[in-house]
């Protein structure tokens, strides 16, 4: 059976990818500056405005306790998946501006998300598959992948079709739907004793009241917190099983 860390790594590996054989920049290629928002500002650039022609919106992040602005459905999907991953401690949209030189030409780029995973910092670009394979994007990805570690960051290219994979995305939405609200110490202890006795907690039993009036909310909240775990790549059903993670309950 996969451990909690293995499941978290699998989730993250599934929602981003490096280009298999990234193009190599020619000519002078380097990062010259990384600029973060001034004090009091959350983002390096505004995403949601009335004049935007493309669809944008705001996502209520459970993990961050505030609205995250998105400018594509793929970014929204990324927020949901990252919100559900217990090893992700923080996520921020439009976190900085990267100034770089590529082929002797000065350019700038705004990564879509800054992700902190167990102390490691990753800057993510979120792109449709076709755009991720565009030569200019491929060159930039290669440069950022090679150069950002010197600045203390990893670079990830998250592809839209991977972020939208089912049933993983639907399962993440179900966890967030039921698990956003905190549970009491009494509710936790009641479920902990049942888990200790049975070994496995089942979704149908949560719905029938076997774990209290808020059984479904308790299971989902504990899963979001990394205390329980499910197989997020298997379709959700009445038979969905929740297991205690190592060091969990």
94-110 tens-digit pLDDT: 999 999 999 889 999 99
Mean pLDDT of the chain: 88
Report the pLDDT value the prediction gives residue 146, as an integer from 0 to 100.
Answer: 95
Decide: residue 125, CB within 10 A, 0-12 exposed, 13-18 middle, 19+ buried: buried
* Domain at 15-163, CATH from 3.30.200.20, 3.30.70.20, 3.40.1350.10, 1.10.287.610: 3.40.1350.10
In this predicted structure, the answer to whether residue 49 has a pLDDT above a threshold of 60 is: no
Share of the chain above pLDDT 90, in %: 77
Per-residue pLDDT band for 248 (boundaries 50, 70, 90) equals: confident
Q: What share of the chain is helix, strand, coil (3-state, %, to 5)?
A: 35, 25, 40
Residues 6+ apart with CB under 8 A from 85: 8, 11, 12, 117
**25-29, 34-38, 191-195: segment of lowest average pLDDT:** 25-29
CATH class of 168-244: mainly alpha
Report yes or no: 211 and 205 within 8 Å, Cβ to Cβ.
yes
DSSP symbol at 231: -
Report the pLDDT value the prediction gives residue 249, as an integer from 0 to 100.
Answer: 81
Enter the pTM of the model: 0.86
Report the pLDDT value the prediction gives residue 38, as an integer from 0 to 100.
Answer: 85
**153-162, 213-222, 225-234, 239-248: segment of lowest average pLDDT:** 239-248
Rounded distance between C-alpha atoms, residue 144 and residue 165, angstroms: 26
Average of per-residue pLDDT across 70-84:
97
Report the pLDDT value the prediction gives residue 53, as an integer from 0 to 100.
Answer: 54
Per-residue pLDDT band for 134 (boundaries 50, 70, 90) equals: very high
Report the pLDDT value the prediction gives residue 15, as an integer from 0 to 100.
Answer: 45
Q: Where in the chain is the domain with CATH 3.40.1350.10?
A: 15-163
Average of per-residue pLDDT across 81-94:
96
Report the pLDDT value the prediction gives residue 26, as an integer from 0 to 100.
Answer: 54
**Which is it for the CA torsion 19, 20, 26, 28, positive or negative?**
positive
Q: Where in the chain is the domain with CATH 1.10.10.10?
A: 168-244
Residues 6+ apart with CB under 8 A from 122: 114, 115, 116, 153, 154, 155, 156
């Amino acid at each position: 059976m996969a451990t909690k860390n293995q499941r978290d790594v699998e989730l993250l590996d599934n929602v981003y990818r490096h280009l298999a054989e990234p193009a190599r920049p020619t000519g002078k290629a380097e990062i010259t500056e990384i600029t973060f928002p001034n004090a009091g500002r959350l983002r390096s650039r505004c995403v949601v405005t009335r004049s935007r022609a493309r669809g944008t919106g705001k996502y209520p992040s459970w993990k961050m306790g505030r609205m995250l602005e998105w400018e594509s459905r793929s970014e929204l999907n990324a927020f949901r998946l990252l919100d559900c991953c217990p090893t992700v401690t923080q996520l921020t949209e439009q976190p900085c501006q990267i100034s770089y030189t590529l082929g002797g030409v000065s350019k700038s780029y705004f990564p879509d998300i800054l992700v902190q995973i167990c102390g490691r910092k990753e800057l993510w670009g979120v792109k449709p598959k076709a755009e991720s394979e565009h030569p200019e994007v491929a060159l930039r990805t290669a440069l950022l992948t090679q150069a950002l570690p010197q600045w203390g960051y990893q670079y990830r290219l998250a592809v839209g079709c991977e972020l939208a994979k089912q049933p993983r995305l639907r399962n993440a939405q179900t966890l967030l739907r039921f698990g956003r609200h905190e549970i009491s110490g009494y509710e936790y202890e009641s479920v902990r004793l049942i888990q200790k006795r049975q070994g496995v907690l089942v979704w149908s039993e949560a719905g029938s009241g076997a774990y209290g009036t808020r059984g479904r909310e308790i299971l989902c909240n504990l899963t979001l917190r990394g205390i329980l775990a499910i197989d997020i790549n298997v379709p959700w059903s009445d038979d969905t099983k929740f297991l205690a993670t190592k060091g969990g309950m």
